[in-house]
Structure 1
Amino acid sequence: MALSADARTITASAPGKVLLVGGYLVLHRPHHALIAGASARFHTTAEWEEPASSRASPAAGLAVRVTSPQFHSDTEFRLSATPPHVFEGEEPPSFIALAIRVALLAAGEAGAAAVAAAAGEGRRLRLTLRADNDFYSQLPFLRVAGEPVTADALKRVPPFQPPPTEAALAEAEASAAGAVAAAGSAGRDPAAAGGADGGPAIRKTGLGSSAALTVSLTAAFAVALGILPGEDAASNGPVGAAGKAWLMRCGQVSHGLAQGKVGSGFDVSAAVLGTQLYLRVSRDALADAMGAAGAALRPEATGAELSAGRAALAGPEATETRWWDLEAGPAGLPSCVDLLLADVSGGSSTPSMVRRIEAWRTEGDTQAALWEEVAAATRSAQRALAEVAEAEAAAGADGVAAALAYAAATTPDAWPRGLPAEEATAGASKLLERLAAASAALAAWRGLMRRMGNEAGVPIEPASQTALLEATQALPGVLAAAVPGAGGFDAIYVLCVRDPAVRAAVEACWLDFKGEGGQRVVPLLLTAEPDDLVSGGVRIAQGNPSV
């Protein structure tokens, strides 16, 4: 059922991702990656409007307007009612265009009928894109606004804050350095943007914004047209299993086509399902589906190509394998462990780093042996965190509280000794042992990742990051500090015991840290989504998140 007159607005949101353990290995089966879905979300709001136009017929196509107030973008076009659903007018950016067209290809006749019906009624579909602030560095905004880099200042940044312009940022930085009079930037609007100012100062934090955009847009568009399996205009909450399976297939294909490559797909999987232990889809299976869909989306596609494209996106009948051979299971991430992420704003070229590691690991036996050591350490770290979760479940509420209170005040070397005898229980002591073991396993994994980077000449953990990580690791309550994903200069993350004082101490450490060349470290406000494949991932909500 498409959106009705009395239920005109819905919003689909999809989480970002943090690849905790399994970087580089995630590219290759049978290796798994531990991925946290982030509380930071990308939102797409779908709303039917009555355009001031007399072009109300299926032949005229569906009027669509895609806006992003955050990035001052506004695109209008018409979408043909017949496959392969080409655009008339200004074609939207590739991630948006392919998300829409792949969704309609997957929906087949139902998609074409929905587009024709809406076009025949003369309605226009408005899609509004918004991203939570943590997807982008807020350091440029704070500098232009003249705000201090503090946790309180970050919390005061308005939701869906547009970035400042490059010109405004350059002026603010020059002023701060004494090159321009302080009055030169007084009263400037930090959200100013536009051609004369050189465009917005966008600094991504590596949370997978393009994948979260793809999944949220596909979901909102599909609900608006009534083509998302298992969902309709009244949906409110997590998307169901059938809808997630459909979004996984559409998202993997459209995101891959927009990127122009067959990637690992973990960022799309995180956007659909949230926190998980991920095993990538086979490269050949995804390449075949992308090839078939790409051929079906050509303006001159034949009927046979359209059928093949739909078949590539269809789910198998009567089987649990709903998205090729991709596997996503519970991550085993303990609820007593908190995730913190920091924006380091250093900048890294992940594709270049991946290419260099891929070339290095096949150079000889020595490299292959280290690669296997990294793989073994990755499995050990993932297993150690799962064992913390098991110990937490067995400890009981009082045991967990006692263990966390002790761990929050001490460092991992003290955890195996356990609580004082008068406070100890078997459950609390076991939990502390598992926390200490997980800390040791993560440290061993991190060391091997750093060694692999050094031997390959790839800055997986650059020296500047090492100094920051070591300062963070020394704090009470911290299990591990590491670089996420492929590593580099962009970000760091921390796993610590869930305690407000520990989180505050980590954030204070980061804000006080001064790296080489005045490097600043800005804590993000996000946390990890719960380790639940049912309630996590893509969601539908009634209304508009900005209202």
Structure 2
Amino acid sequence: MSSQQYDHVTIASAPGKVLLAGGYLVLDQQYTGLVIGTSARFYTIIHNNNIQGTINVFSPQFEQATWNYTVFSEQSQLNFIASETDSPNKFVQTCLQFTLTIILQLIGSNQFNNIVNKGMDISIIGDNDFYSQREELEKLGLSIKKASSREKLTPFCDTHATLGTVNKTGLGSSAALTTSLVAALFLYFDVFKNLDQEKDLTLVHNVAQYVHCFAQGKVGSGFDVSAAVYGSHRYQRFDPTILTPIMDENVDPIELTKSLSANNKSWDNKVVSIDMPPQFQMILADIDAGSHTPTLVSKVLKWRKDKPEEATALWNELGAYNTKVEQHFRELNLVAMHDSSTYNSTLARLAELPATKWIKNENGNKVEQLMMGLVTDFCKVRELLQKMSAATGVPIEPIEQTKLLDQCMEVPGTIMAGVPGAGGYDAIFCIVISEKAKQGVRQVWEQWSGCSVSPLLCQADSNGVTMINPASPMGQVCLRRS
């Protein structure tokens, strides 16, 4: 199908995330995290369906993934009725109900009803890397251990699962979904025309944080939603008490809109953009074991409560090294900008040896010193995470992952290898500085027998939430799948 079939088509897209540094610590405003956006993205496509007051939502990659709602406004009050279903979607319903409530407050009943009365079809699709795809690969007779296998999958392929049973890869699918849907609704209702203004991004951020927390039933750290909105950045969380007064199904629409407004200065989250240094490539792999992040987090927080002195000392030390890693990224970007020749030649030389074999040279150039510092300090991050694993009994970096990551670090040109975010058995990442290193790491994954490693194709991408032109090649792919 093409955009010409509809009077009004809107497509919004939001990225997944990888928390390189700051796992667990991002729950506390005292600390920061280094979060990298990914090229794996969610897309929300909205167009009219000419069925008055009806909103149909589809997630075509899943079984039993259609949801229907009736919506209308009476005297500035939203009437929102969900049809009964055997597979309700808390994230979609919460997002629609509260975002439409806010939109009604912002644009008024007349404009709201003019759009709602044309009806809406909403399709939500996620890039293949958000899900393990093992079922589809096996169905096609392709190896789950080869990156080339994933390259043969069609875009937004079927998962052969329901939303409740699908195996995720830990890239933040619910946050990316929520953010793309919130942004698409604001754009569709002409609350704003694009996503170029800071105040518009702030509104998307605040609303997406709220509905994501509401759907989860708790106020989390928020870094995943922040990444979906802003892309790669240093993240410092908002005060969770901002949301406490409005975490209510029957919240007053005026209070809700005021609390989530871009003008509400109580939102004290801090976002400082960052880019991966030139020639750095992030590669990821799915580990088919799975971890329940809330369980890991609750155990770590219990340890922090039971042993506050031990925990605070470890967290402070870990926080300091996390900050050093971020600072190395920033300084390497500056050096590359001012002296690209030295930067490129130094990285080419360093890529010839495993980082564990680099020899510290007091007379080395600035790039060499920064690279040595980055490798050393990130190794310290891993060491402290392993120490926290031992102290809490939580498999933040499980022993099986440690062996695999250490083997990846022996590949010349690999400078970082770790478990993202809360760790566990979901995924691993590596940062490499040459194409040869990328292939070398993937060869290690392919031959690894300790656990089932399946490479993902997505890369680091600094871009946050965006509007997609329906006539663009990506827009046409989305429309065909919707």
Please report the TM-score for the alignment, with normalisation by the length of structure 2.
Answer: 0.90
Is 1:42–1:213's contact at 8 Å kept on the other side of the alignment? Answer: yes
The aligned counterpart of 2:385 is: 449
Q: Distance in 2 between matches of 1:306 and 1:527?
A: 40
- Aligned with 1:18: secondary structure? strand
Q: How does 1:296-335 map to 2 (within 5 A)?
A: 296=251, 305-316=252-263, 324-331=267-274, 333-335=276-278
Give a deviation string over 1:351-394, Cα, whole Å, max 9, x none: 11111111112323333322322222222222233222232223
The one of 109, 122, 127 equivalent to 1:127 is 122
One-letter amino acid of the structure 1 residue matched with residue 339 of structure 2: A
Q: Residues of 2 paired with 1:337 and 1:69: CA distance?
A: 35
Alignment of 1:29-428 (within 5 A): 29-51=29-51, 56=52, 62-72=53-63, 73-82=65-74, 83-87=77-81, 89-90=83-84, 93-107=89-103, 108-110=105-107, 112-120=109-117, 123-149=118-144, 150-164=146-160, 202-227=166-191, 229=192, 231=193, 235=194, 239-288=196-245, 290-291=246-247, 294-296=249-251, 305-316=252-263, 324-331=267-274, 333-364=276-307, 365-396=309-340, 398-413=341-356, 415=358
Distance 1:41 1:26 in 2: 23
Instruction: Name the structure, 1 or 2, with higher relative contact order (CA <8 Å, separation 6+).
Output: 2
Paired residue type of 1:63? T
Q: How many residues align?
A: 464
Q: For the residues of structure 1 that align with 2:402 and 2:115, how far apart are their CA atoms?
A: 56
CA RMSD after TM alignment: 2.4
SS at match of 1:264: coil
CA distance in 2, matches of 1:88, 1:524: 36
CA distance in 1 between counterparts of 2:469 and 2:93 reads: 24
**Paired letter, 1:242:** K
**Secondary structure of the corresponding residue to residue 13 of structure 1:** strand
Corresponding residue number in structure 1 for 2:406: 470
> What percentage of aligned pairs have identical amino acids?
30
Structure 1 consecutive aligned stretches of length 4 or more whose deviation exceeds 6 Å: 3-6
Given that 2:287 and 2:454 are in contact with CA atoms closer than 8 Å, whether structure 1 keeps it comes out as yes
- Taking structure 1 as the reference length, the TM-score comes to 0.80
Q: Which has the larger radius of gyration?
A: 1
Deviation per CA, 1:37-67: give whole Å up to 9, x if none.
Answer: 111000111111223xxxx5xxxxx211111
Q: Hey, what does 1:181 align to over in structure 2?
A: none
Report the Cα distance in structure 1 between the residues aligned to 2:141 and 2:353, rounded to whole angstroms: 37
The letter of the residue matching 1:64 is I
What residue ranges of structure 1 are gaps of 5+ in the alignment? 57-61, 166-192, 194-198, 297-304, 419-425, 531-535
Q: The residue matched to 2:241 in structure 1 has which SS?
A: helix
Q: Determine the C-alpha separation between the residues in 2 that align with 1:360 and 1:6.
A: 55
Structure 2 runs not aligned, ≥5 long: none
1:433–1:156 Cα change, 3 Å: same
1:18 — aligned with what?
18
Letter in 1 for 2:107: A
C-alpha distance after superposition, 1:395-432 (max 9, x if no partner): 22x223212221222222455567xxxxxxx9x93212
What amino acid sits opposite 2:312 in the alignment? A
Q: Distance in 1 between matches of 2:366 and 2:91?
A: 48
1:370 alignment partner AA: L
Alignment of 1:532-547 (within 5 A): 536-543=463-470, 544=475, 545-546=477-478, 547=480
